[in-house]
Amino acid sequence: MIHIAASLLSADMAKLAEAVKLVTGEVDYIHCDVMDGHFVPNLTFGAPVVAAIKRVSSIPLDVHLMIEAPGRWLNDYIKAGLDERDFLTFHYEAEPDPVSVIARIRSAGIKPGISIKPGTPFEEVAELVGSVDQVLVMTVEPGFGGQHFMHGMLPKIESARTTAGQSKVVAVDGGIDPQTAPLVVRAGADLLVAGNAIFRRGDPVRAVRDLREAISNLL
Ligand code: DX5
Ligand code: ZN
């Protein structure tokens, strides 16, 4: 079963609730990109906006923290109303004590995820995979939507799937469109995050269906 997450980063920031409604019924998750201007060279929104999105969304959230020292800010995200259907994913490179952050997310009743940037070898997080519900392999340098998919990440997706087994989610984020979706699914990804390919194509509903169509013969 392949799931799709719509990244609000590419939606109209003045109409986030509308964007959520537009894709509800088509995608499986709403992907929220939290950026702090330090860990990544871009700034988006924080816990109050995540809480607001949670309030208007009937489908689960896939929260992607691209912030320095996520453990320091974790309580704000835990208090944002996330529940056992939602993922809360942070970057391995940003956190000195990932084991404790994972444990805190889990004890809050939220599904923990760990993400790695393109330059981080999968081997560095291999030991953490057993304690998370999602491994997120970045297929672009995190920070901006609309970048080109990095084909060199395909072996990393394969390693993640081999280590994770079938019980965990292997997510990919960056440059996913109907051309690249089949490549990542073949490599073992089962959660595809897409921003531009959904919200910058005119008709988001049609765009999600095009993504599903592109991988339909692989399932
Ligand atoms: C980038 C973000 C992505 C972004 C992907 O750092 O993590 O979620 O929205 O955008 P596209 O799908 O346009 O590459
Ligand atoms: Zn993301």
Q: Residues 29-59: pLDDT tens digits? A: 999 999 999 999 999 999 999 999 999 999 9
Q: Ligand 1 within 6 A of 180 CB?
A: no
Beta strands 191-194 and 111-116, pairing class? unpaired
Q: Answer whether residue 20 shows pLDDT above 90.
A: yes
Tell me, in angstroms, the distance from the centre of ligand 1 to residue 8's CA. 9
Q: Which of 83, 173, 190, 210 is catalytic?
A: 173
Which tokens go with 203?
């008709």
Tell me, in angstroms, the distance from the centre of ligand 2 to residue 195's CA. 8
In the block, tokens 């995050």 appear at 193
Within a 13 Å sphere around the CA of 153, how many CA atoms are in the beta-carbon half?
29
Q: Answer whether residue 1 shows pLDDT above 80.
A: yes
Give the pLDDT confidence score for residue 219 in this predicted structure.
72
Give the pLDDT confidence score for residue 57 in this predicted structure.
98
CA-closest residue to ligand 1 atom 4: 145
Which pLDDT band holds residue 176 (cuts at 50, 70, 90)? very high
Q: Answer whether residue 129 shows pLDDT above 90.
A: yes
**8 CA: nearest ligand 1 atom:** 9
Q: In the annotation, is 33 catalytic?
A: yes
Q: In the annotation, is 190 catalytic?
A: no
Give the pLDDT confidence score for residue 97 in this predicted structure.
98
In the block, tokens 């391995």 appear at 92
Q: What pTM, to 2 d.p., does this model score?
A: 0.98
Q: Answer whether residue 25 shows pLDDT above 80.
A: yes
Buried b (16+ CB within 10 A) or exposed e, 64-97: bbbbbbbbebbeebbebebeeebbbbbbbbbbee
Give the pLDDT confidence score for residue 54 in this predicted structure.
98
Pocket test for ligand 1, best of 35, 43, 65, 140 (most atoms within 8 A of CB): 140
Conformational region of residue 163, where left means phi above 0, alpha means psi within -120 to 50, and beta covers everything else: alpha
Give the pLDDT confidence score for residue 211 in this predicted structure.
98
Tell me, in angstroms, the distance from the centre of ligand 2 to residue 213's CA. 22
CA-closest residue to ligand 1 atom 6: 142
Q: Residues 52-93: pLDDT tens digits? A: 999 999 999 999 999 999 999 999 999 999 999 999 999 999
Class of domain 3-218: alpha beta
